[in-house]
Structure 1
Amino acid sequence: MKLIAARAHLAGARAVFLSLASALMLGACSLPLPDKPVRPEPYDLGPPLPLAASTTATGPALAMDSVEANAAIDGTSVVYRLLYSGDGQQPRPYAQARWVMSPPQLVSQRLREAFSATRPVVDVGMGLAQVELRAQLDDFSQVFSGPNASEGVVRLRLTLIAPASATQRLLGQHTVVVRKPAQTADAPGGVAALRAATDEAVRQAVAWVQSVPVPAAR
C-alpha cells in the first residue's frame, strides 16, 4: 500500500510540474516581442542642380579642394540650434536623422557639379589651373528662433587664389550666408530648408567666382 501511495504522490507531483511548465511556456509566448531598433532616416541634398542649356565647360580651369568645416558639422548628424532657449551656440544632433555623407562632403559635391557646368574642375596640386578655390563651411544647421519657427542656415566662406610655383596670390575672399525657412519644426523640415539654402549658396558661390578676374597666364 505504501508503494502504491508513493507512486500516486510521484505521479501527482509530476503532473503539477508539467502544468507549471506549460503555464510558463504559454506565458512566455504571450509576452510582447522587443521592438526592432529604429535606424536613423538617411538624407541627402536631392537631385543635382539644373545645369545651363549648354553644359560645355568653356571657362578657365578651376582647382578645387574639399570643403572644410568645424567639428560640430563635420559628421553625419543633422544639427539644430535653439536660439530662443539662450544656448543657441550649442549644436544639438537629431537622434533619428542622419546625412548620407558629412555636410562638407555634400557641399563639395554640389560645388563641383555646379562649377563643372561652366569650366573644367581639377584637383589642387595638379598644376592645371590658374585659379584655386578654397571653401570653409562655417554653419550648416537648422536654427530655431521659437518652438515652431526655424530656418536652415548655410554659411560658406570662399577664398580664391592664384597658385604659383613659389608663392600664392590672393584674388579675393567672400562669405555667402543663406537662410531658408523650414516648413515644419522637425528634422525633415530642417533638411528641406538646408537643401534649398545649399542650392542658393552654391549659385552665389559660382556667380562670385565668375566675377573675379582671372590673372593672365605667365
Structure 2
Amino acid sequence: MKQPQPGRTDLLMQTPHRRKRFLSLLCGAAVVFLSACSALPDKPMRSLMYDFGPGLVSVPAATQTQLPAIALEELSTVGGAIDNQSLLYRLAYTDAQQLRPYSQARWTMAPAQLVQQRLRETLSQRRAVFNAGEGVALNRSQNAVLPLILKLQLQEFSQLFSTPDASVGLIRLQATLVELTPAGEKLLFQRLLVVQRPAPTQDAAGGASALVQATDAAIAQLDDWLQTARSQP
C-alpha cells in the first residue's frame, strides 16, 4: 500500500528545530494581528457639557423693596465663534488674538442665551422683567409708565491664559439703557462692564467655573448700575 505523503506542517514538525521555528512564526503572526487590532480607532469621546448650574433652588423671601420694572431685549453678540456652543480660550502668552475651542467641552446653549437666562433670573428677584415688546404692549394697555429698555451686547466670553499655569474667566458686556418716547428710543445711559475671575483649574472645567463667577459678578454690577441710573435726572 502506498504511504501518504507528509504535508508541509508534518515536515516542519519532524525535528525540534523546525517545531520551534514554526511556533515562533505563529507567535509573530499573533503579535502582528493584535497590534493591528489595537490600532483601530476608539469610539469617539462624548463632549462634556457645561451650563451655569441649577440656578435658584428656592425662592428668596420678598423682604427688599421692589424696584421699577425693566424690559430686556434679546442679548446680542459681536458674531463669530461666540455665537455657538464652544467653550473658548485664549493663550495671551503666545497669540491673544486667536480664539481656540476646547475639543471635548461645550456649553449646553450659546453663551448669550446662558447669560441672558442668568440675568433674567437675578433681576427678577427684585423687579418685574419683561421682554422688550411684551413690556411695552402690557404697559400701554394699562396706561402705565413704560419701563426702560435694557440692551446688552456680549463682546467677550472666554478663558484667558496669561501663562500655562494661570487663567481667568473673562466677560465683557456693553450695557445700554433707553427710554421709549413718542419720537422713538432715547438713549439714557451706556456702560461697558469688563469682569474677570480666576480659574480654579487650568482646563475646561476650571474655565467654565471662572466664567460663571465672572458672569454673576458682572450681573451684580449691572444691577447696582441700573438702580443708580434710574435715580439720575
Mapped pair 1:37 → 2:54: no
What residue in structure 2 maps to residue 191 of structure 1? 208
Larger Rg computed on CA atoms: 2
* Distance verdict in 2 for CA 1:49–1:176, change over 3 Å: farther
Which residue number corresponds to residue 91 of structure 2?
A: 82
What is the TM-score with the length of structure 2 in the denominator? 0.75
Letter in 2 for 1:43: Y
Distance in structure 2 (CA, Å) of the matches to 1:40 and 1:57 = 44
Q: Secondary structure of the residue that 1:66 maps to in structure 2?
A: coil
Query: Closer, same or farther in 2 for the Cα pair 1:57/1:38, shift >3 Å?
Result: farther
CA distance in 1 between counterparts of 2:171 and 2:148 reads 24
Greater RCO (CA < 8 Å, at least 6 residues apart): 1
Q: Is the CA contact (8 Å cut-off) linking 1:42 and 1:99 kept in structure 2?
A: yes
Q: Shift of residue 171 of structure 1? A: 1.4
**1:57 and 1:117 in contact (8 A); partners too:** no
Q: Distance in 2 between matches of 1:57 and 1:37?
A: 53
| 1:15-62, Cα deviation, whole Å (9 max, x unpaired) | xxxxxxxxx9xx979934742210110000113268653178832221
TM-score by length of 1: 0.80
Q: Give the one of 118, 122, 127 matched to 1:114.
A: 122
Change (3 A) 1:138 1:49: farther
Residue of structure 1 equivalent to 2:186:
169
Distance apart, 1:152 and its partner CA = 0.5
Question: How many equivalent pairs are there?
Answer: 200
When the two chains are superposed, the root-mean-square deviation of aligned CA atoms in Å is 3.1
Flag the 1:28–1:198 CA change in 2: closer, same or farther, 3 A.
same
- Of residues 103-112 and 166-175 in structure 1, the stretch that sits farther from structure 2 once superposed is 166-175
Q: Does 2:97 align with 1:95? A: no
- Which 10-residue stretch deviates more, 195-204 or 160-169? 160-169
- Residues 49 and 57 from structure 1, CA distance in 2 versus in 1: closer, same or farther, beyond 3 angstroms? farther
User: What does 1:1-218 align with in structure 2 at a 5 Å threshold?
Assistant: 31-32=37-38, 34-48=41-55, 53-54=61-62, 58-70=66-78, 71-85=80-94, 87-126=95-134, 127=136, 128=138, 129-213=146-230
Give how far 1:151 is off: 0.5
For structure 2, the residue ranges without an aligned partner over 5 or more in a row are 9-28, 139-145
Cα gap change, 1:136 to 1:57, in 2 (>3 Å): farther
Q: Name stretches of at least 5 consecutive residues in structure 1 with no aligned partner.
A: 14-23
Structure 1 residue identity aligned to 2:50: Y
Q: 1:130 Cα deviation (Å)?
A: 2.2
CA distance, structure 2, for counterparts of residue 61 and residue 215 of structure 1:
16
